[in-house]
Amino acid sequence: MTSEAKLSKDDMTVCFILGGPGSGKGTQCAKLVQDFGFVHMSAGDLLREEQQRPGSEYGELIQNCIKEGKIVPSEVTITLLEKKIIESDSNRFLIDGFPRQLDQALAFEKEVIESTLIIYLECSEEVMLKRLLKRGETSGRIDDNKETILKRFKTFLELSYPVVEHFRKSGKVHTVPCEDSVEEVYARVKPIFAELFKQK
């Protein structure tokens, strides 16, 4: 079978870091960057950047989706991620908070590149809510308020969690409980990467 993906898993490694809002995706990615030299791409950060870019045709659409805890149409996010990957000199990428919906997962793997490893950070809504409300005290994010957080939880359960379920069959998913301290969670995440990738 020939693959239509533009990039090959043989030349490049893409890991998806998944988990509900506030599960600690960004925090764990920052630690992996230090130890393993991955390039970290937060889909949410890329969308916020695009939303603020003067002249962006998607600014309003992105802002509305983020405010309502909805998922931005796949083409927008996939285009931003693909551009970053192609522009980068690196061949190791952590994609944080994407794919958030099954069609995005299928499209990205078919058209851009297949993922090598998937981390799912498992966390209760109670803990995520606490973390996000605390983050909201300083983040300035329009979605770190209780009303939007509850909408994000609903979106995660209905649309994003099925992505994790889908990939489970492939054997690529490592589920990591993440309600303990940052260091304790990283002590679970690091060995998964150490087995597959050389440290810096």
Partner whose binding site includes residue 131, from Mg ion, ligand UDP, ligand ADP, none (CB under 5 to 8 Å by kind): ligand ADP
Closest CA to 127 of 21, 49, 35, 55: 21
Let me know the angle formed at the C-alpha of 146 by 140 and 152, rounded to the nearest 5 degrees: 90
Least distance CB 128 / ligand UDP (angstroms):
9
Give the interface segment with ligand UDP, choosing from 29-37, 86-94, 97-105, 182-190 (CB under 6 A): 97-105
Closest CA to 98 of 79, 132, 183, 149: 79
Least distance CB 19 / ligand UDP (angstroms):
7
Count of positions on this chain that bind ligand ADP (CB under 6 A) = 15
Contact status: 163 vs ligand UDP (CB under 6 A): no
Amino acid at residue number 143: D
Residues 134 to 153 in contact with ligand ADP, rule: CB under 6 A = 134-135
What the block records as the tokens of 134 is 């605390």
Integer Cα distance of 120 and 173 in angstroms: 7
What the block records as the tokens of 51 is 């939303």
Sole binder of ligand ADP in the list 87, 181, 198, 200 (CB under 6 A): 181
DSSP single-letter state for residue 124: -
Q: Are 62 and 76 in contact (CB under 8 A)?
A: yes
The dihedrals phi and psi of 96, each to the nearest 5 degrees, come to -105, 125
The dihedrals phi and psi of 7, each to the nearest 5 degrees, come to -115, 155
Least distance CB 6 / ligand ADP (angstroms):
27
Least distance CB 148 / ligand ADP (angstroms):
13
Contact status: 27 vs ligand ADP (CB under 6 A): yes
Sole binder of ligand ADP in the list 18, 19, 58, 108 (CB under 6 A): 19
Q: Are 90 and 38 in contact (CB under 8 A)?
A: yes
Count of positions on this chain that bind ligand UDP (CB under 6 A) = 20
Sole binder of ligand UDP in the list 13, 28, 51, 77 (CB under 6 A): 77
Partner whose binding site includes residue 182, from ligand UDP, ligand ADP, Mg ion, none (CB under 5 to 8 Å by kind): ligand ADP
Is 63 annotated to bind a ligand? Reply is no
Strands in the chain per DSSP E: 13-19, 39-42, 92-96, 117-122, 173-177
Name the residues that contact ligand ADP, by CB under 6 A.
19, 21-27, 131, 134-135, 178, 181-182, 185
